[in-house]
Amino acid sequence: MASEQPPKSSADSYGSFTDTKRARSDILEENFVKNSWFSSGLWQTPRLRKDWHTLHDEDDGRYSSLNTFFDVLFAITINTITLQLRNRQTLPEFYHWARYYGIMISLWLSTCEYSSRFDNDDVAHKIFWSLYGIGILGMLMHVRGDEWSSNSSVFSLCLGWVYILLGTHWFRCALAISRCFLFATVLGTAKLAFGFYRMKWRMFACVCSLCWRVRTLSLSSSSWLCKNWAQRRA
């Protein structure tokens, strides 16, 4: 006859429950660290998302919320200029629509060209995409208006800013990946040249405005100091 096992005490049951809970917590923590964006390091060297030795590996195919956000911004911008064309069906308005439509599609393709090859989840790319988003938002906010309006100038400034960011990261990839040096250098140079071309007049205007404000502030400060000094002497 089999001997009966003594019943477990409440302390043993509590200890077993605690061990099970701790084991589950360790598994969840391990999965979180393994699948988190910083699992491969906070600041990583640029790399190809798909290389020869990973050609047949499954890509993670991630589509982050930032990608969705940028696609929505592009769609809203194109919808804005299309509504403007519908309200004012004139030849200059059609030229405005065609020019801005081409700019937005070209920028979207340039962004996809970079992200499909070198996109990553490290801190460098998070900073890059955050600054990129600021530029896209600026373009969306200033997409209306004629060619010589202030909105057009700010739009050009934001567009140049975005292309300079893209060109800088293309150069970063060219320096880190020797096999992509020529290809990435050519594209990075082209994007930087276009970015500075779009920004040059607006940057000049901003610098002149800043110098004028500094001059005005310095003159007012000097006048106030001289007046205060004269009152004290009197």
Mind listing the pLDDT tens digit for each residue in 29-83? 555 445 455 556 677 788 887 766 666 665 555 556 777 788 888 888 889 889 8
CA-closest candidate to residue 115, choices 70, 72, 78: 70
pLDDT computed for residue 170 by the predictor = 93
Report CA-CA distances (Å) from 178 to 118, 129, 172, 174: 14, 24, 11, 7
Q: What is the pTM of this model?
A: 0.67
Report CA-CA distances (Å) from 123 to 41, 50, 130: 9, 20, 10
pLDDT computed for residue 120 by the predictor = 80
Domain residue spans of the chain: 64-206
For the stretch 76-132, pLDDT in tens is 888 988 988 888 888 888 888 898 999 999 999 999 889 888 888 788 888 998 899
DSSP of 49-74, one letter per residue?
SS-GGGTTSPP-----HHHHHHHHHH
